[in-house]
């Protein structure tokens, strides 16, 4: 690509080499000399490249970056830049209470301040665990400095008794076995731990592999980066190449706003259907779009991605795991197959300066069972279904994980093949669900629909991953494992439940879910995309008036300052759960 920036035009010059302001230059410069950098280096016109470090002992999923950063530095040096590594607020999906999602916007805010406020010309975003990838990309979108994604890579495949055990996904299976009394506590822990055999993040197509695959499909990482397992030698090699590449990107002035276009975002939606991506993806991708200023809505996910087949055979929708995905060709092989069917905007630009089409033309899949063709797809139309009605303005359903059991029980009435009705059983938040799900007095049977509310961005600050509720143990013993679940929270990307989730507005924001009562009849029509309480408009209006007179939906108090701050300014899941005041700040690096 053509060089657009000369060394003397680098942003970092304003800090490190500004003869018009010697006092400030000296002040900015001197402390960066005290660990061995020289003034000559810092004033030599070499780009200063940040390494946004998300790894730490607190965040095991991203811990490989502590080591990988060394290879990134070598790449940066080799290409003529200077590396400056700094920490990003840690986010560990499995370790943070009440939920790691609360921290996505906090890490975003922190990273925006760092990228804006320090002498950086470009940045390597070290991504991995679920929320770290969107947090970094959202910040890069807001600041609009040249930026490149390096993910740390998934763990090796997990195994137990000769079968693949995938992270997260195994928990949903194991908790059923525990509830049925088929395994004890000790076995439960062993089974779950078998899915985490090495450094890296979730090896399933959970939110981490989804978001890193989508970062690549967006054009923000080098081709092939997303799928390389953390312990593989190619991981260190691509870290080095990533470091080299960002230096050239600075001189080419290749910025997130050049890459994250409407076309690139549509590619992302299409790839998400093809990989069987997480239901967290629309939240995070819509947030990235909002921060870069490209219109994108929940309905785009169904319109653009609804009819795309599922071709990646990874758990939870399929069989295999991360190592298999990498060996089969990873994201470029998926894009290659999608391109054969004309579904990709091939001209979308990527961080290596080439187009998505150029990057993927020669990258056919290497294992036809792991990455299928359209002809051998696992599910013919695998995108998200958008559902709305008097319960909420929008919610989504991942149709590619609807099991045969679910289909037979709920979607096989020849008069009404895409709809089902049932008695609602309503839980207020995860604690209420955990306390009461096995309570026989609720009389839950296979004709019930389970609802959970108070679990959205405001109600459970950050929004809880709880919508995939298990059936009561007395039903599990009868082998009824999946009841329809609906809620204003999220669910883990590793869950194979066909829940209707991310309902917006949430109960705590006055959404229709707040008016629902246990015992109400609810009808879900997947063909029409409707979800309604079957009561008259008059009764609904009366309930709303009573609800408002009683002060609206009650949710637990905040436990930390950030919970309170975020609750006051956060948008709904359908709108990306962004901090509303943040959206107006765009391209701040040029201000």
Q: Which positions touch ligand FES (CB under 6 A)?
A: 61, 93-94, 129-130, 167, 201-202, 206, 208
Using rule CB under 5 A, residue 492 touches Mg ion: yes
Please name which of 185, 131, 193, 186 lies closest in space to residue 167, comparing C-alpha atoms: 193
Q: How far apart are CA 245 and CA 223, in angstroms?
A: 12
Helix (H, G, I), strand (E, B) or coil at 526: coil
* Site track for Mg ion across 69-98, x = CB under 5 A: ------------------------x-----
Q: In the bound complex, what is the minimum distance in angstroms from residue 399's beta carbon to ligand FES?
A: 23
How far, CA to CA in Å, does 479 sit from each of 177, 470, 474, 483? 11, 12, 9, 11
Among ligand FES, Mg ion, none, the one that 208 touches (CB under a kind-dependent 5 to 8 A) is: ligand FES
User: Is 206 or 512 the residue whose CB approaches ligand FES more closely?
Assistant: 206
How many amino acids of this chain bind Mg ion (CB under 5 A)? 4
Q: In the bound complex, what is the minimum distance in angstroms from residue 136's beta carbon to Mg ion?
A: 17
Q: How far apart are CA 97 and CA 100, in angstroms?
A: 7
* Site track for Mg ion across 97-136, x = CB under 5 A: ---------------------------------x------
Among Mg ion, ligand FES, none, the one that 553 touches (CB under a kind-dependent 5 to 8 A) is: none
Please name which of 435, 423, 436 lies closest in space to residue 523, comparing C-alpha atoms: 423
Contacts of 274 (CB under 8 A, 6+ apart): 308, 309, 310, 311, 312, 334, 337, 338, 382
Using rule CB under 5 A, residue 221 touches Mg ion: no
Among ligand FES, Mg ion, none, the one that 502 touches (CB under a kind-dependent 5 to 8 A) is: none
User: Is 106 or 208 the residue whose CB approaches ligand FES more closely?
Assistant: 208
User: Is 201 or 240 the residue whose CB approaches ligand FES more closely?
Assistant: 201
Q: In the bound complex, what is the minimum distance in angstroms from residue 29's beta carbon to Mg ion?
A: 43
Please name which of 81, 143, 74 lies closest in space to residue 108, comparing C-alpha atoms: 143
Among Mg ion, ligand FES, none, the one that 61 touches (CB under a kind-dependent 5 to 8 A) is: ligand FES
Contact between 169 and 320 under an 8 Å Cβ cutoff? The reply is no
Q: In the bound complex, what is the minimum distance in angstroms from residue 160's beta carbon to Mg ion?
A: 21
Among ligand FES, Mg ion, none, the one that 266 touches (CB under a kind-dependent 5 to 8 A) is: none
Q: How far apart are CA 379 and CA 95, in angstroms?
A: 34
Interior angle at CA 16, CA 14 and CA 22, nearest 5: 85
User: Is 51 or 61 the residue whose CB approaches ligand FES more closely?
Assistant: 61
Q: In the bound complex, what is the minimum distance in angstroms from residue 214's beta carbon to ligand FES?
A: 14
Window 462-481: residues binding Mg ion (CB under 5 A): 465
User: Is 61 or 578 the residue whose CB approaches ligand FES more closely?
Assistant: 61
Among all residues, whose Cβ is closest to Mg ion? 492
Interior angle at CA 105, CA 100 and CA 107, nearest 5: 80
Q: In the bound complex, what is the minimum distance in angstroms from residue 267's beta carbon to ligand FES?
A: 23
DSSP for 351-372 reads TTSSBHHHHHTT---S-TTTB-
What is the separation of C-alpha 370 from the centre of its chain, rounded to a whole number of angstroms? Answer: 22
User: Is 175 or 436 the residue whose CB approaches ligand FES more closely?
Assistant: 175
Q: Which helix (H) or strand (E) holds 522?
A: strand 521-525
Instruction: Work out the burial of residue 43: count CB atoms within 10 Å of its CB; fewer than 13 is exposed, 13-18 middle, 19 or more buried.
Output: middle
Q: In the bound complex, what is the minimum distance in angstroms from residue 56's beta carbon to Mg ion?
A: 19
User: Is 133 or 359 the residue whose CB approaches ligand FES more closely?
Assistant: 133
Among ligand FES, Mg ion, none, the one that 202 touches (CB under a kind-dependent 5 to 8 A) is: ligand FES
Q: In the bound complex, what is the minimum distance in angstroms from residue 45's beta carbon to Mg ion?
A: 44
Choose one: 175-183, 320-328, 470-478, 486-494; the region binding Mg ion (CB under 5 A): 486-494
Q: In the bound complex, what is the minimum distance in angstroms from residue 207's beta carbon to Mg ion?
A: 5
What is the separation of C-alpha 402 from the centre of its chain, rounded to a whole number of angstroms? Answer: 21
User: Is 204 or 261 the residue whose CB approaches ligand FES more closely?
Assistant: 204
Q: In the bound complex, what is the minimum distance in angstroms from residue 493's beta carbon to Mg ion?
A: 6
User: Is 200 or 389 the residue whose CB approaches ligand FES more closely?
Assistant: 200
Among ligand FES, Mg ion, none, the one that 144 touches (CB under a kind-dependent 5 to 8 A) is: none
Contact between 194 and 229 under an 8 Å Cβ cutoff? The reply is no
Among ligand FES, Mg ion, none, the one that 492 touches (CB under a kind-dependent 5 to 8 A) is: Mg ion
Contacts of 550 (CB under 8 A, 6+ apart): none
Q: In the bound complex, what is the minimum distance in angstroms from residue 567's beta carbon to ligand FES?
A: 24
Helix (H, G, I), strand (E, B) or coil at 129: coil
Q: How far apart are CA 340 and CA 332, in angstroms?
A: 12
DSSP for 171-234 reads HHHHHHHHHTTSS-HHHHHHHHHTT--SSSB-SSSSHHHHHHHHHHHHT-B-TTTTTS-TTSHH
Choose one: 268-276, 340-348, 461-469, 562-570; the region binding Mg ion (CB under 5 A): 461-469
Task: Please report, as ranges, the residues that interact with Mg ion according to CB under 5 A.
Answer: 93, 130, 465, 492
């Amino acid at each position: 690509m053509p060089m657009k920036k000369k060394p003397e035009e680098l942003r970092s010059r304003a800090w490190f080499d500004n003869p018009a302001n010697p006092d400030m230059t000296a002040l900015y410069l001197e402390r960066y000399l005290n660990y061995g950098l020289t003034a000559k280096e810092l004033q030599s016109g070499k780009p200063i490249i940040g390494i946004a470090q998300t790894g730490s002992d607190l965040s095991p999923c991203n811990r490989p970056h502590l080591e990988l950063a060394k290879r990134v530095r070598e790449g940066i040096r080799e290409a003529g830049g200077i590396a400056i590594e700094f920490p990003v607020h840690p986010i560990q999906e499995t370790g943070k209470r009440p939920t790691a999602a609360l921290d996505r916007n906090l890490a975003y805010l922190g990273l925006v301040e760092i990228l804006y406020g320090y002498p950086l010309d470009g940045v390597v975003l070290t991504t991995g665990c679920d929320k770290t990838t969107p947090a970094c990309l959202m910040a890069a979108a807001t600041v609009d400095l040249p930026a490149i994604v390096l993910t740390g890579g998934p763990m090796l495949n997990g195994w137990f008794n000769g079968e693949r055990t995938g992270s997260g996904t195994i928990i949903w299976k194991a908790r059923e076995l525990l509830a049925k009394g088929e395994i004890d506590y000790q076995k439960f822990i062993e089974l779950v731990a078998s899915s985490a055999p090495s450094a890296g993040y979730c090896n399933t197509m959970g939110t981490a592999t989804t978001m890193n695959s989508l970062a690549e499909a967006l054009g923000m990482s080098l081709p092939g980066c997303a799928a390389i397992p953390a312990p593989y030698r190619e991981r260190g090699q691509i870290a080095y190449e990533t470091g080299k590449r960002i230096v050239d990107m600075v001189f080419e002035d290749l910025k997130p706003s050049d890459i994250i276009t409407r076309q690139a975002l549509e590619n992302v939606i299409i790839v998400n259907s093809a990989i069987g991506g997480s239901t967290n993806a629309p939240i995070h991708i819509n947030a990235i779009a909002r921060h870069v200023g490209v219109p994108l809505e929940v309905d785009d996910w169904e319109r653009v991605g609804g009819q795309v087949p599922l071709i990646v055979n990874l758990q939870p929708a399929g069989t295999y795991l991360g190592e298999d995905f990498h060996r089969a060709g990873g994201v470029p092989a998926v894009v290659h197959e999608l391109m054969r069917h004309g579904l990709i905007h091939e001209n979308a630009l990527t961080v290596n300066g080439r187009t998505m089409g150029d990057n993927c033309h020669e990258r056919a899949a290497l294992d036809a069972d792991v990455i299928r063709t359209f002809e051998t797809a696992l599910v013919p139309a695998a995108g998200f279904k958008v559902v709305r009605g008097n319960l909420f303005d929008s919610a989504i359903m991942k149709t590619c994980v609807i099991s045969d059991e679910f289909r037979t029980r709920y979607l096989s009435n020849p008069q009404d093949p895409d709809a089902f009705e049932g008695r609602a059983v309503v839980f207020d938040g995860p604690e209420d669900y955990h306390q009461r799900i096995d309570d026989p007095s609720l009389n839950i049977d296979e004709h019930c629909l389970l609802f959970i509310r108070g679990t959205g961005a405001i109600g459970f600050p950050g929004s809880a991953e709880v919508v995939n509720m298990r059936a009561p143990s007395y039903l599990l013993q009868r082998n009824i494992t999946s009841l329809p679940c609906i809620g204003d929270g999220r669910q883990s990307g590793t869950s194979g439940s066909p829940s209707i989730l991310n309902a917006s507005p949430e109960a705590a924001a006055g959404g229709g879910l707040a008016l629902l009562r246990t015992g109400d009849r609810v009808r879900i029509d997947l063909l029409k995309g409707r979800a309604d309480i079957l009561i008259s408009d008059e009764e609904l209006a009366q309930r709303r008036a009573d609800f408002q007179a009683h002060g609206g939906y009650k949710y637990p108090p905040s436990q930390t300052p950030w919970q309170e701050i975020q609750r006051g300014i956060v948008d709904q899941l359908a709108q990306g759960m962004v901090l509303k005041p943040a959206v107006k700040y765009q391209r701040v690096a040029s201000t």
